[in-house]
Amino acid sequence: MTQHTFEREHKIHFSECDPAGIVFYPQYFVLFNDLIESWIDALLPEGYHGLIGARRVGMPTVHLEVDFKAISKMGEAVRLSLDVERLWQKSLTLAWACTGEDGVVRMAARQIIVTTSLDTHQSIAIPEDLRTVIEGAVAAARR
């Protein structure tokens, strides 16, 4: 099994599905935003809320590429994972995947996030403490 930078199991809920009982595609974006929030919560003592709220560091998406490969059905267990592909001065590139228990990738995406000041809405360098813990998470995943 591949080691990912961050992952968690998720059961597909009724509220995430369309009338056909499969994931309504925009819900994947909510699931992965929640995954990023959980990842930052695991990395920083003050978590995502502290980064966004107290420190006023934004993490908007500036580019997103998505492939929908197979359906996910209500009640299924899937694995949501993210990997850091590149870490730049002011941005990072993440690869996401939603994989079924059968090993089939249901959805995969590549996302570029830029760090910004929520006061000026200008791009800023990734905070040094965040950069350090991301680098550590990437190194741990590659071992």
Rounded CA separation 91/130 (Å) = 12
Contact 121, 62 (CB under 8 A): no
- Note whether residue 38 is domain-resident: yes
**What is the CATH number for 29?**
3.10.129.10
Residue 2 binned pLDDT confidence (cut-offs 50, 70, 90): low
pLDDT 10s digits, 106-131: 999 999 999 999 999 999 999 999 99
- Note whether residue 1 is domain-resident: no
Nearest CA to 112 among 62, 38, 52, 48? 62
Predicted TM-score (pTM) above 0.95: no
- Give the pLDDT of residue 44: 97
> How many domains in the chain?
1
